[in-house]
Structure 1
Amino acid sequence: MKLSVVGIGPGGQDYILPFAQQVLADADIVIGYSYYFQFIQHLLKPGAVAVGKDLTEEEARAELAVNSCEPGKHVVVISSGDAGIYAMASLVYEYASKRPDKELDLQTVPGISAFIASAGKLGAPLGHDFCCISLSDLMTPWTTIEKRIFAAATGDFVTSLYNPRSKKRYWQLERFKEIFLEHRDPETPVAIIRQVTRPEEHITITTLQEFDTSLVDMFSLVMVGNSQTYQFKNFLVTPRGYLARKPQTGEEIQNESFRQITEQLHRDDVSVADQWAIIRCIHTTADFEYEDLYISNKDAISRWHEYLVNGGTVVTDVTMVQSGITKEFISRYNVNVYCYLNDPETIPLAEKEGLTRSQAGMRIAIAKHPEALFVVGNAPTALFELCDQFPGFNPAGIIGAPVGFVNVVESKLKLQAMKQVPYVIIKGRKGGSNVAASIVNAAFTVNTLGS
């Protein structure tokens, strides 16, 4: 008792595989959706019985096929495309598994699926990872389908849609478009392939934003590109990735890191200059929380850029901050960077006044460089000293990024209350010498954003 499930391709005669033609020619009974027989009737042998069923009678077709199997008879169930993709193979095998009394010789004969045929018509849309989703909720809960749509959208898969739209099921495709627009570029290429390989074949290429879902019906397949897909003439091309060389030089790696960071930012309440400083902080720490911890005032980063490129002065609380400021920038713009933590005057002053070394060093710096950009990346006592001495000096600004537990938060809150001074503050307990230096480097380079 032989039972074959045969994929007859998308409709065009050239798309019926030779193996499928051989199996059809051997069939005694052929069962399928009535509409499909027009494509294979000429391949059947004289006397073969053709049993046509309605579109919605999939289970009845599978049950009839299993029950029709008799010794010496070859029963064939036909499916469009590939019999194993959204087709009859799974139902036939399910029913066969429930009939252990029948010794069935089962086989699945593959066919060319509609999405494969459509990809051929479109050139090269499936050059990278792809998925297929059926929008029919007749057998699958819509909540499950929507999860798969979300996964495809966020995973950047080239996505082919089966059963995209019918007279009764029209809102599902609109919902698909809505979800994809939340996560994809509106200019993402979209193709509508109707009646692929058949005489009525028609292909429309558009974009996700301009995608008119009313053009789609049950004879259509919809294919949505990924973030790299582009239109070339009447084709869609999804790069395999080989032409996009991976970053190799230090500058290329850094720029690629900046690009990846930028894609994940969410704040829309900061200037471009502040966003650049945030990117530098995240790049230094690999910690995206810095986007929410970063606050500034008075267009500080842009103001400091003008100050620094005109030969400004920077004072740091510790040598680690001093070391983190890019030497090339210091040399190019003739900037002086001072740290008085280890200055000969610092220890005597600290002992005399009962100060920490960082605090004493900052007091000396204020006296010598009252108009400098002051950068604190370690010691909250240094930041307290700056706040306590103001308004006795006129700094270009203050970067408040000490790190730790004792008095760290309080020192930053005190600086935040000084509205007259341009500042950048990393809120909370986080910060550090590397972060403070990154903010200075951001001010140096804010003019390079266009490149």
Structure 2
Amino acid sequence: MRLSVVGIGPGGADYILPVAQQVLADADIVIGYSYYFQFIGHLLAEKCECIGKDLTEEEARAVLAVDSCAPGRHVVVISSGDAGIYAMASLVYQYASRHPEKEIDLQTIPGVSAFIAAAGKLGAPLGHDFCCISLSDLMTPWTTIEQRIKAAAFGDFVTSLYNPRSKKRFWQLERFKEIFLEHRSADTPVAIIRQVTRAEESILITTLKELPVEAVDMFSLVMVGNSQTYQFKNFLVTPRGYLDRKPQSGQEIQDESFRQIAEQMQRTDLSAADKWAVMRCIHTTADFEYEDLYHSNGNAIARWQTYLQEGGTIVTDVTMVQSGITRSFLEKYQAQVHCYLNAEGVLELAAREGLTRSQAGMRLAITKHPEALFVVGNAPTALFELCDHLGNADFKPAGIIGAPVGFVNVVESKLKLQAMKHIPYVIIKGRKGGSNVAASIVNAAFTYE
């Protein structure tokens, strides 16, 4: 005994697959919605028995098909489009699985689904990820359907709607439109394809905002583009990728990274120079908290750019900060960077005065480069040392970057610098910071445009 579930396509004779035609020609009994027999009658053998059912009798068709199976008999259940998409295959297989005592030879013959046929008519709307949603709540709770609509809208899927609207279910499509407009542009292309591949076929291309809900019925399929879909003549085109080509070179990857960072930033009080410095910090750390932690005064970044591009001097508290400053910037502008952490005499000074090495290195640097840009990315004691010397007449630095990281005295050292209103500074508030962040701020000053 054999039982086949056959997709007969969307209606056009040319859309019935050859394999489906062969199975239909071999059928002893064909069961389906009465309306569908007009599309396949010419393919059936004279001896074939045709049993038509009403549109709402899907479960009864499945039961009849399984019960009709008998040795030597080939039973066929027909579905429009593809038998596995919103169609009879699942019901037939479910019912058959409840009757394992019947040794039925089951098979599903695929067909051209309405959304595939509609996509062909529209050209290339399914070039990227897509989904199908049925708006019928006869078998699925509307709360579940609405969750799927929201997910499709948020996920930017090209979305095809089955069972979009009927005389009794007229409000669901309006709700769909409302949800999608919360996530998609009002100009998003939308197509209404009615009676696809049949003699009465009609296609209307419109926009999400202008979607005429009242023009849609149960013979219609609605297809909504994603954020990249556009209209070309009477076609819809969804590009294969969201970008023409993924970034490949180092510069392309960096540019795309900065684009994404800028898109997600929230602060509106930052100058263009400060925004660029924040972007460099986020790019280095992948941490958007730096947008809120960043604090500056005295138009620091713009002033430091002039200073550095005229061959200025940079002093860092540790070698990691020194290493993080881009070498090509230093070479281009003949700027100098120094770190005295391991300089001759630092250990002796630290031991004699009861200082940390970072603190002693900064004290030595102050005597050698009193007008430098001082950068602290590790040691809060180094930042304390700088603050303690700011009152001296012979110490007039170009500015200070205060980004030490850690727990002990880190917050306090930054607050002390923040109180020095007369000096251009950039501070990373709180416990975060580090050598990479401090170096990123220097690199931002070199490159701000």
Instruction: Find the residue that maps to 1:381 and give its secondary structure.
Output: helix
Instruction: Find the residue that maps to 1:9 and give its secondary structure.
Output: coil
Comparing 205-214 and 20-29, the one that deviates more: 205-214
1:441 match: 443
Shift of 1:303: 4.4
2:384 match: 384
Q: Distance in 2 between matches of 1:170 and 1:371?
A: 75
Mapping for residues 142-291 of structure 1, pairs under 5 Å: 142-153=142-153, 155-170=155-170, 172-174=172-174, 176-177=176-177, 180=180, 188-207=188-207, 213=213, 215-226=215-226, 228-240=228-240, 244-262=244-262, 265-269=264-268, 271=270, 272-291=272-291
Instruction: Find the residue that maps to 1:31 and give its secondary structure.
Output: strand
Shift of 1:352: 4.9
Instruction: Find the residue that maps to 1:111 and give its secondary structure.
Output: coil
Letter in 2 for 1:34: S
Q: Distance in 2 between matches of 1:290 and 1:328?
A: 26
1:360 match: 360
Q: What whole-Å deviation, never above 9, does each CA across 1:130-150 have from its counterpart, x for those lacking one?
A: 333333333233444444445
Letter in 2 for 1:322: Q
1:341 match: 341
Q: Distance in 2 between matches of 1:371 and 1:32?
A: 89
1:108 match: 108
Q: Distance in 1 between matches of 2:35 and 2:273?
A: 63
Shift of 1:214: 5.0
1:15 match: 15
Change (3 A) 1:40 1:295: farther
Q: Distance in 1 between matches of 2:181 and 2:297?
A: 34
Instruction: Find the residue that maps to 1:139 and give its secondary structure.
Output: coil
Instruction: Find the residue that maps to 1:14 and give its secondary structure.
Output: helix
Shift of 1:115: 1.6
Shift of 1:311: 4.3
- Choose from 413, 416, 422 the match for 2:415: 413
Shift of 1:321: 1.4
Shift of 1:270: 5.3
Mapping for residues 395-414 of structure 1, pairs under 5 Å: 395-414=397-416
Shift of 1:432: 1.4
- Are residues 1:91 and 2:91 paired? yes
Q: Distance in 2 between matches of 1:388 and 1:148?
A: 61
Q: Distance in 2 between matches of 1:235 and 1:298?
A: 56
Change (3 A) 1:13 1:418: farther
Q: Distance in 1 between matches of 2:135 and 2:378?
A: 56
Q: Distance in 2 between matches of 1:437 and 1:298?
A: 19
2:431 match: 429
Question: Do the aligned residues in 1 keep the contact of 2:228 with 2:242 (CA within 8 Å)?
Answer: no
2:63 match: 63
1:125 match: 125
Comparing 375-384 and 128-137, the one that deviates more: 128-137
Q: Distance in 2 between matches of 1:384 and 1:424?
A: 15
Shift of 1:111: 0.8
- Are residues 1:328 and 2:328 paired? yes
Q: Distance in 2 between matches of 1:419 and 1:181?
A: 49
Shift of 1:33: 2.6
Change (3 A) 1:397 1:44: same
Change (3 A) 1:116 1:367: same
Identity, % of aligned positions: 79
Instruction: Find the residue that maps to 2:119 and give its secondary structure.
Output: helix
Q: Distance in 2 between matches of 1:375 and 1:381?
A: 13
- Are residues 1:79 and 2:85 paired? no
Q: What whole-Å deviation, never above 9, does each CA across 1:95-120 have from its counterpart, x for those lacking one?
A: 22223454434332211011211221
Comparing 436-445 and 201-210, the one that deviates more: 201-210
Question: Do the aligned residues in 1 keep the contact of 2:267 with 2:291 (CA within 8 Å)?
Answer: no
Shift of 1:229: 4.2
Q: Distance in 1 between matches of 2:265 and 2:58?
A: 48
Shift of 1:238: 3.7
Instruction: Find the residue that maps to 1:404 and give its secondary structure.
Output: coil
Q: Count how many residue pairs are aligned between Structure 1 and Structure 2.
A: 446
Comparing 337-346 and 30-39, the one that deviates more: 337-346
Give me the TM-score of the superposition, normalised by structure 2: 0.83
Q: Distance in 1 between matches of 2:127 and 2:325?
A: 44
1:308 match: 308
Mapping for residues 131-146 of structure 1, pairs under 5 Å: 131-146=131-146
Shift of 1:79: 1.1
Change (3 A) 1:255 1:84: same
Q: Distance in 1 between matches of 2:198 and 2:232?
A: 24
Q: Distance in 2 between matches of 1:222 and 1:303?
A: 57
Give me the TM-score of the superposition, normalised by structure 1: 0.83
Q: What whole-Å deviation, never above 9, does each CA across 1:137-167 have from its counterpart, x for those lacking one?
A: 3323344444444554555544333233444
Instruction: Find the residue that maps to 1:431 and give its secondary structure.
Output: coil
Change (3 A) 1:300 1:139: farther
Instruction: Find the residue that maps to 1:197 and give its secondary structure.
Output: coil
Instruction: Find the residue that maps to 2:448 and give its secondary structure.
Output: helix
Q: Distance in 2 between matches of 1:205 and 1:300?
A: 54
Q: Distance in 2 between matches of 1:273 and 1:209?
A: 39
Q: Distance in 2 between matches of 1:155 and 1:21?
A: 38
Change (3 A) 1:182 1:364: farther
Q: What whole-Å deviation, never above 9, does each CA across 1:341-387 have from its counterpart, x for those lacking one?
A: 34556556545543323223334544555554332111111222233
Q: Distance in 2 between matches of 1:101 and 1:326?
A: 76
Q: Distance in 1 between matches of 2:330 and 2:274?
A: 21
Shift of 1:15: 0.9
Comparing 148-157 and 437-446, the one that deviates more: 148-157
Letter in 1 for 2:234: N
- Structure 1 portions without partners, runs of 5+: none
Q: Distance in 1 between matches of 2:170 and 2:302?
A: 51
- Structure 2 portions without partners, runs of 5+: none
Shift of 1:310: 4.5
Letter in 1 for 2:266: R
Letter in 1 for 2:380: P
1:375 match: 375
Shift of 1:81: 0.4
